[in-house]
Structure 1
Amino acid sequence: MREAVNTVDEAVARAAERLDTARLTGATCAPVRDLLPPGDLTAAYAVQTVLAERRRAEGRRGTGWKVGLTSAAVQAQLGVDTPDFGRLTDDMAVPDGAEIPWGAVLQARAEAEVALVLEHDLTHERHTVVDVIRATAFALPAVEVVGSRIRDWDISAVDTIADNASSGAYVLGTRPVPLRELDLRTVGMVLERHGEPVSTGAGAACLGNPLHAAVWLADTLVRLGHPLRAGDTVLTGALGPMTTVEPGDVLEARIDGLGSVRAAFGRTGQEGDTR
């Protein structure tokens, strides 16, 4: 049953409190769509902003952005026709191969992506692929560890956006590759668990090209008054299906031309999600 609220601002505050309590206690919560106006993505992003401000107050530093919902199939499943975005912070960054304590990301899953690291700001009202290429210092292979504070991944588009686009952690490779050496549309990807393939894909699975996702993000953030800046890391979206994660898993993503990156998970660890 939808809880009665007096204003959208009150609804946003209640949704933020529900999600932040889940983060701090490590106990998943009910969806927040019952608190927010039906299908109101603007309200969902307002929740995300409130949570981001809380993280900054805790001393967290923004390190970039992620693009989600880049698959047409996932968009259809959640009833939307555009991607979404979330914020990256310094405590979400995990070194290549370093162990992620089990429970640090609630209900963890993983996907392989192309990460772009920017050398210049992107502040135009409308960007082109060339603008993004010129602004990018290099690309890296990435594993995004997605997670949901919402119980059993029972999410709509409103839920995942409010929950920082279901962000958890991210792992970057360490060999920077200039874009002039890559065709991101055709790069192949395989994600392995203990050497066995669990997900495959290619750049074209990400809005046709990961650069298209970066253009969408650049345009969207300018409209919202938060343009991409030099030094930002951009996770451009999944190159293949997301995979579940179990304690003790070691996942390695191999992307043509970019090399590999590993995400390792502990067998035991903290119970609460601090991300």
Structure 2
Amino acid sequence: MNDPIREAADALLGAYRSMTPIDPLTPKFTDAPLSAAYEIALAQVQDWEKNGDTVKGHKVGLASRAMQRQMGVDQPDFGHLTASMFHLENAPIPAGTFIQPRIEPEVAFVLSRPLRGPGVTVAEAAAAVEFALPALEIVDSRITDWKIGIFDTIADNASSGGVVLGSKPSKLADVDLRLAGCNLHVNGELVATGAGGAVLGSPLNALVWLANTVGPLGVTLEPGHVVLPGSMTRAVPIQPGDTVVATIAGLDSVTAVMEGTDK
């Protein structure tokens, strides 16, 4: 691992500890390939694992056109989901866990068999999914004011922050993920709508993309792991005390409760 990559990883790890964002990394890595950004992200994951955290899945970021337009990028990315990122539905989520959080409604896939690319097909991906759950992903950025390019968000573990899973599993055969509509409410107000088709045509396509992207890097999507394929709507900023509900047709709903500042 060369020094610039280690320094960038340490800067991002420091942002987690201090809850103070850092300047964008892109100007320091103008000519660097995106593989360098993934090296920075992996260095952080390795640090978390050394300190007792464990990888429980992966996420696809920036999978929808809405998210790509919002963040000014033109391709998906991926990040790791660790055990410490998962929060129980309806249980207060400590607001101090995040720097500048936003929330996204997603379909969560739970795998029953391993997936490793390249060459994974939609049929193989569907067969590997044990069930789907409604989910809310809390994205966060360790980069000041979300001033990120694709290099920044990849290096920052795809802007991962937290995950809340719903509690009603559904079989893929029972729902058309392409047509499944989604309503996102914050404190009872409808703030965004979307559909599964916004995620690379279908959330399953995002799962295929992920398996075929991480496979050449030596990563297998493991049984029992959670895969978040991407947001069905734009990301919505949230504050301490907010209650967020995502309702996805065919998958029921999921609720995230942000702890208030007085707790």
- Do both share a fold (TM > 0.5)? yes
How big is each residue's C-alpha offset from its partner over 1:153-191, in whole Å with a ceiling of 9 and x where there is no partner?
111111000000000000000111010101100000001
Q: What amino acid maps onto 1:230 in structure 2? A: P
| Cα shift at 1:75 | 3.4
Change (3 A) 1:193 1:161: same
Change (3 A) 1:269 1:135: farther
The one of 78, 82, 98 equivalent to 2:91 is: 98
| Cα shift at 1:85 | 0.1
Change (3 A) 1:109 1:78: closer
The SS at the match of 1:144 is: strand
1:183-194 pair list within 5 angstroms: 183-194=176-187
Q: What amino acid maps onto 1:119 in structure 2? A: S
| Cα shift at 1:124 | 4.3
Distance in 2, Cα, partners of 1:158 & 1:96: 32
Distance in 2, Cα, partners of 1:65 & 1:241: 20
Change (3 A) 1:111 1:121: same
**Match for residue 129 of structure 2?**
136
Matching of residue 146 in structure 1 with residue 142 in structure 2? no
**Match for residue 69 of structure 1?**
62
The SS at the match of 1:237 is: coil
Q: Report if aligned partners of 1:140, 1:176 keep a CA contact under 8 Å in 2.
A: yes
The SS at the match of 1:35 is: helix
Change (3 A) 1:79 1:255: closer
Distance in 2, Cα, partners of 1:126 & 1:32: 33
Change (3 A) 1:167 1:41: same
| Cα shift at 1:103 | 2.1
| Cα shift at 1:38 | 3.2
How big is each residue's C-alpha offset from its partner over 1:194-235, in whole Å with a ceiling of 9 and x where there is no partner?
211111100011111000000000111111110111111000
The one of 34, 45, 63 equivalent to 1:52 is: 45
**Match for residue 161 of structure 2?**
168
**Match for residue 205 of structure 2?**
212
Runs of 5+ unmatched residues, structure 2: none
| Cα shift at 1:82 | 2.7
Q: What amino acid maps onto 2:161 in structure 1? A: G
**Match for residue 253 of structure 1?**
246
Q: Report if aligned partners of 2:67, 2:231 keep a CA contact under 8 Å in 1.
A: no
> RMSD of aligned C-alpha atoms?
1.6
Distance in 1, Cα, partners of 2:54 & 2:164: 17
The one of 59, 75, 85 equivalent to 1:82 is: 75
What is the TM-score when the length of structure 2 is the normalising length? 0.96
Change (3 A) 1:39 1:192: farther
| Cα shift at 1:35 | 2.6
Distance in 2, Cα, partners of 1:248 & 1:77: 25
| Cα shift at 1:78 | 5.7
Distance in 1, Cα, partners of 2:37 & 2:251: 34
Fraction of identical pairs, as percent: 43
Query: Relative to structure 2, which stretch is displaced further, 95-104 or 29-38?
Result: 29-38
| Cα shift at 1:73 | 4.7
What is the TM-score when the length of structure 1 is the normalising length? 0.92
Distance in 1, Cα, partners of 2:130 & 2:262: 36
Q: What amino acid maps onto 2:13 in structure 1? A: D
Matching of residue 224 in structure 1 with residue 213 in structure 2? no
Query: Relative to structure 2, which stretch is displaced further, 49-58 or 24-33?
Result: 24-33
Q: Report if aligned partners of 2:241, 2:260 keep a CA contact under 8 Å in 1.
A: yes
Runs of 5+ unmatched residues, structure 1: 1-7, 271-275
Distance in 2, Cα, partners of 1:78 & 1:241: 10
Q: What amino acid maps onto 2:248 in structure 1? A: I
Distance in 1, Cα, partners of 2:252 & 2:53: 30
Q: What amino acid maps onto 1:161 in structure 2? A: I
How big is each residue's C-alpha offset from its partner over 1:82-113, in whole Å with a ceiling of 9 and x where there is no partner?
31000000000001111111121110000100
